[in-house]
Amino acid sequence: MKTHILGYPRIGSKRELKKACEQYWAGKISEEELEKVGKSIKNYNWNLQQEAGIDLISSNDFSFYDQVLDMSLTVNAVPERYKKLHFKSKLDLYFAMARGHQKNNIDVPAMEMTKWFDTNYHYIVPEFKKDQQFSLFSTKVIDEYKEAKKQGINTKPVLIAPVSYLLLGKEKEQGFNRIDLITNLLPIYFKILTELEESGAEWIQFDEPFLALDLTEKEQHTVKQVYKQIQEKFPKLKIIVATYFEGLQDNLNLAVNLPVETLHIDLVRNPNQLKEVLDNTPKKVSISLGIVDGRNVWKNDYRESLATIKKAVNVLGQERVFISTSCSLLHVPCDLDSENNEEVLTSEIKNWLAFAKQKITEVVTLKQLFLDDNSEKNKNTILKNRKDIESKKTSPLINDPTVKDRVASISNKHTKRLNPFPSRKILQNKALNLPLYPTTTIGSFPQTKEVRSWRNKFKKGEINQKEYEELLKKETEKAINWQEEIGIDVLVHGEFERNDMVEYFGEKLNGFVFTKFGWVQSYGSRCVKPPIIFGDVSRPKPMTVKWTRYAQSLTSKLVKGMLTGPVTILQWSFVRNDQDRAVTCNQIALAIRDEVKDLENAGIQIIQIDEPAIREGLPLRKNNWQNYLKWAINAFKIASSGINDERQIHTHMCYSEFNDIIQNIADMDADVITIECSRSQMELLDAFADFNYPNEIGPGVYDIHSPRVPHKDEMVLLLNKAKKVIPEELLWVNPDCGLKTRGWDETKKALTEMVTAAKILREKTFSNIV
């Protein structure tokens, strides 16, 4: 019986990598210094696994930015526009692809970024051309293997498998299917495997998440061919094929019959697949049981897990059973031991939790418990675990009958505006009196070092609440004045008081707890600290009214209220595992509904309810979509429909494709939707155009994830493209998303260009009329 994990977080338990990368980008440390930080994180992670007693320790799960981008560099899928710039190092080329580059007369935007399956992690989308060639360009995976070997650890290198790598990418030309590139790609994987084998590698983990998703026949066939060829060429290498985030379902027979050493399955997402897998696994194959949850923070229930292990051992025998996490631990925080603040996280709740480091111990402990459940020590371990699990089940902290009653009484009248959009539009046009192509932003303005340091000082007690709020008020006032100055039509207060759009609301709601160091990588150096929903959710008092009212008091222009929607709060928190997600979502929806009402009563005329996570929340298998969409869209409507018709509801979504859910998006019935569009050159808008989407739309006209300043002509071009497919009386002008990650200098330049672009479009319309 072997233990392993599919991957460990690389950001560092105190976000060491984040800080080092940002310093490197700012020119404050050298490449060598950055490499050094990387090395020390890798070392720490390897030692941690070794000391805990993990049998197969992972390498190449480290990355300076993103593991998919690493793979693109490895196989030289580097688009020409970056290649031709001749950066001084591979690392700079790599970062230019990730973040764009605008310096020394070079000006190139970043590559497209999108969500990693149904997680809040984002990867850089590989680009493929029809005649795409590959070669071994970066040797990172081999170097890392050797690096660990030098320290006496013979690791299991982790690679994204060839088929999944191709499927993660995108065809940048018409007339071919990227899966056909396998013929060109596979030889590069052979090279890598040859080098790894020659260096002494015995085990290889191929991540094949698509094997747990809907595949075409052709894709299934290609998977089969790939492993067959690998087996023929490398009969001695022991391959682990790792599937996660879903069950194998119709790919089950294909998966268990692959000519590999071990198949890893996710038994947290899909515990029911175990029986069928066991019944069908041929004699030579081992099964890796993904039983420790890599997507959530709750302690493992040893009794349940041991029962699962026993089932597997009964059929396969000990030798052919591996114990593991359900997926990579990238998606959970590093270390619960860092949390030592009773006020933030009480010891009662802490007893229910396990983060990445603790999960490693759980994996090892499960093996020990299985091998010997009779020793005094092991008996006590099981007993203590039983006690923790039971204490969570029965804690009075979790249940609030008032909340349960209110959710039970939700009816149709909670999910409809008074009148349909056309009637509302007449009322809203009159009440709001906005020009054609109204300009706005998505909510946040730069979260500068200063703003964060004020919050930090306030949290540490170095400044008091009054001082903290005075500073925020000044920052808000500056933002309002500046928006007025450059002529934005619908203003925002800037969200300076918020640490994060989800954490902030979590802190104001009952049923949530927080961590101090529970950072999880979101993209590149950016992290989030997802709150933990442990009990029934309710709103003790208004959450945003004070700041919104204050901002509105500073201007005669309209200020948009800014809320995070129920699905996004749910999706970007760690959720309880003892209740349906839909129920928890409705509890949050009712809290937001009350907030909307309070904002309306405070005189706010436009309210935005952000739902960027609706799309990523979609189940990975299509046959589960309708059920999810039904409750998710309904929750948004509960949150948004308690308001009068002349008030305008906006929603915002980024990183989404809409083609296959456009009817559901329309069903949300937001008066205005703003979407991220610019990296795809308005391609995303086609879904709305083809559908004749009836309400108003603000397609993002520039990318906010890159420090690059867009030119007004680029935005005019995009808006002209938009205008061809959407009637202009429905169009808004705004950036792709909030501006919290940007600096003020670039923000001011970019928004000034944006306002000018909107004016150019208005003038064009005006001169057409004249």
Ligand X SMILES: Nc1nc2c(c(=O)[nH]1)N[C@@H](CNc1ccc(C(=O)N[C@@H](CCC(=O)N[C@@H](CCC(=O)N[C@@H](CCC(=O)O)C(=O)O)C(=O)O)C(=O)O)cc1)CN2
Catalytic residue ranges: 705
**Residue facing ligand MET at closest CB distance:** 738
- Asked if residue 201 binds Zn ion (CB under 5 A), the reply is no
Gap between the Cα atoms of 726 and 568, Å rounded: 27
Does the annotation place 172 within a ligand binding site? no
- Asked if residue 654 binds ligand MET (CB under 6 A), the reply is yes
Does the annotation place 140 within a ligand binding site? no
Does the annotation place 482 within a ligand binding site? no
- Asked if residue 350 binds ligand MET (CB under 6 A), the reply is no
Q: Which does 443 bind (CB under 5 to 8 A by kind): Zn ion, ligand X, ligand MET, none?
A: ligand MET
Q: Which does 562 bind (CB under 5 to 8 A by kind): ligand X, Zn ion, ligand MET, none?
A: ligand MET
Does the annotation place 595 within a ligand binding site? no
Q: Which does 630 bind (CB under 5 to 8 A by kind): Zn ion, ligand X, ligand MET, none?
A: none
Rounded to a whole number of angstroms, the minimum distance from the CB of residue 596 to ligand X is: 20
CA distances from 511 to 514, 515, 573 (A): 11, 14, 12
DSSP E strands in 553-706: the ranges are 558-564, 606-610, 648-653, 672-675, 696-699
For ligand MET, which is the closer residue by CB, 126 or 612?
A: 612
Residue 360, number of CB atoms within 10 A of its CB: 25
597: left (phi over 0), alpha (psi -120 to 50) or beta: alpha
Size of the residue set binding ligand MET (CB under 6 A) = 12
| Contacts with ligand X, residue ranges (CB under 6 A) | 120, 447, 449, 452-453, 455-456, 499-503, 522-523, 526-529, 572, 740-741
Rounded to a whole number of angstroms, the minimum distance from the CB of residue 725 to ligand MET is: 24
Judged by CB under 5 A, the stretch of 89-97, 358-366, 419-427, 732-740 that binds Zn ion is 732-740
Q: Which does 300 bind (CB under 5 to 8 A by kind): Zn ion, ligand MET, ligand X, none?
A: none
Does the annotation place 15 within a ligand binding site? yes
- Selected binder of Zn ion within 654, 672, 677, 715 (CB under 5 A): 654
Does the annotation place 495 within a ligand binding site? yes
x/- mask, ligand MET, residues 541-570, rule CB under 6 A, reads ---------------------x--------
What are the DSSP calls for 72-98, one per residue? HHHTT---HHHHTT--SSHHHHHHHHH
- Asked if residue 738 binds ligand MET (CB under 6 A), the reply is yes
- Selected binder of Zn ion within 181, 356, 661, 737 (CB under 5 A): 737
Rounded to a whole number of angstroms, the minimum distance from the CB of residue 95 to ligand MET is: 22
What are the DSSP calls for 471-505, one per residue? HHHHHHHHHHHHHHHHT-SEE--B-TT-S-TTHHH
Judged by CB under 5 A, the stretch of 252-260, 278-286, 680-688, 731-739 that binds Zn ion is 731-739
Gap between the Cα atoms of 323 and 264, Å rounded: 9
Does the annotation place 32 within a ligand binding site? no
Q: Which does 452 bind (CB under 5 to 8 A by kind): ligand X, Zn ion, ligand MET, none?
A: ligand X
Rounded to a whole number of angstroms, the minimum distance from the CB of residue 312 to ligand MET is: 41
Q: Which does 576 bind (CB under 5 to 8 A by kind): Zn ion, ligand X, ligand MET, none?
A: none
Q: What sign does the dihedral 471-473-476-480 (CA atoms) show?
A: negative
Does the annotation place 536 within a ligand binding site? no
Gap between the Cα atoms of 465 and 475, Å rounded: 15
For ligand MET, which is the closer residue by CB, 37 or 442?
A: 442
Judged by CB under 6 A, the stretch of 294-302, 351-359, 722-730, 735-743 that binds ligand MET is 735-743
Question: Which of helix, strand or coil describes residue 372?
Answer: coil
Does the annotation place 610 within a ligand binding site? yes
- 250 neighbors 241 (Cβ within 8 angstroms): no
Does the annotation place 654 within a ligand binding site? yes
For ligand X, which is the closer residue by CB, 518 or 710?
A: 518
- Selected binder of ligand MET within 320, 455, 652, 705 (CB under 6 A): 652
Question: Which of helix, strand or coil describes residue 511?
Answer: strand
Gap between the Cα atoms of 30 and 169, Å rounded: 32
- Asked if residue 740 binds ligand MET (CB under 6 A), the reply is yes
Gap between the Cα atoms of 727 and 525, Å rounded: 39
Bridge pairing between strands 321-325 and 2-3: parallel
**Residue 410: in which H helix or E strand, if any?**
none
Rounded to a whole number of angstroms, the minimum distance from the CB of residue 612 to Zn ion is: 5
Q: How long is the chain?
A: 770
- 644: Cβ–Cβ under 8 A, 6 or more apart, which residues? 418, 600
The 8-class DSSP code of residue 352 comes to T
- 207 neighbors 150 (Cβ within 8 angstroms): no
Q: Which does 275 bind (CB under 5 to 8 A by kind): Zn ion, ligand MET, ligand X, none?
A: none
Question: Which of helix, strand or coil describes residue 113?
Answer: strand
Query: Could you say which residues in the range 417-446 bind ligand MET, by CB under 6 A?
Result: 442-444
Rounded to a whole number of angstroms, the minimum distance from the CB of residue 610 to ligand MET is: 4
- 46 neighbors 144 (Cβ within 8 angstroms): no
- Asked if residue 700 binds Zn ion (CB under 5 A), the reply is no
CA distances from 521 to 95, 334, 356, 496, 569 (A): 17, 11, 13, 22, 17
Q: Which does 560 bind (CB under 5 to 8 A by kind): ligand MET, ligand X, Zn ion, none?
A: none
- 683 neighbors 718 (Cβ within 8 angstroms): no
Does the annotation place 16 within a ligand binding site? yes
Size of the residue set binding Zn ion (CB under 5 A) = 3
CA distances from 7 to 64, 326, 741 (A): 15, 10, 28
Rounded to a whole number of angstroms, the minimum distance from the CB of residue 736 to ligand MET is: 9
**The tokens of 289 are what?**
């049981």
- Asked if residue 700 binds ligand MET (CB under 6 A), the reply is no
Q: Which of 338, 336, 328, 368 is nearest to 354 (CA)?
A: 336
Helix 356-371 and helix 376-394: axis angle, to 10°?
130
Judged by CB under 6 A, the stretch of 262-270, 539-547, 733-741, 756-764 that binds ligand MET is 733-741
- Asked if residue 520 binds ligand MET (CB under 6 A), the reply is no
Gap between the Cα atoms of 263 and 257, Å rounded: 9
Rounded to a whole number of angstroms, the minimum distance from the CB of residue 442 to Zn ion is: 6
Rounded to a whole number of angstroms, the minimum distance from the CB of residue 692 to ligand MET is: 26
Angle of CA points 620, 622, 627, to nearest 5°: 95
For ligand MET, which is the closer residue by CB, 294 or 506?
A: 506
DSSP E strands in 88-232: the ranges are 101-103, 106-108, 113-115, 122-124, 127-128, 156-160, 170-171, 203-207
CA distances from 113 to 345, 523, 679 (A): 34, 9, 9
The position carrying tokens 């029986």 is 275
Gap between the Cα atoms of 71 and 136, Å rounded: 10
Q: Which does 341 bind (CB under 5 to 8 A by kind): Zn ion, ligand MET, ligand X, none?
A: none
- Selected binder of Zn ion within 511, 535, 612, 698 (CB under 5 A): 612
Rounded to a whole number of angstroms, the minimum distance from the CB of residue 232 to Zn ion is: 47
What are the DSSP calls for 452-476, one per residue? HHHHHHHHHTSS-HHHHHHHHHHHH
Bridge pairing between strands 127-128 and 170-171: parallel
Does the annotation place 616 within a ligand binding site? yes
Rounded to a whole number of angstroms, the minimum distance from the CB of residue 121 to ligand MET is: 14
- 181 neighbors 126 (Cβ within 8 angstroms): no
The 8-class DSSP code of residue 563 comes to E
For ligand MET, which is the closer residue by CB, 208 or 610?
A: 610
Annotated binding-site residues read 15-18, 115, 442-444, 495, 526-527, 572, 610, 616, 652, 654, 676, 737
Site residues for Zn ion per CB under 5 A: 612, 654, 737
Residues annotated within the binding site for 5-methyltetrahydropteroyltri-L-glutamate are: 15-18, 115, 526-527, 572, 616
Question: Footprint of ligand MET on this chain (CB under 6 A)?
Answer: 442-444, 501, 562, 610, 612, 652, 654, 737-738, 740
Residues tagged in the binding site annotation for Zn(2+): 652, 654, 676, 737
Name the binding residues for L-methionine: 442-444, 495, 610
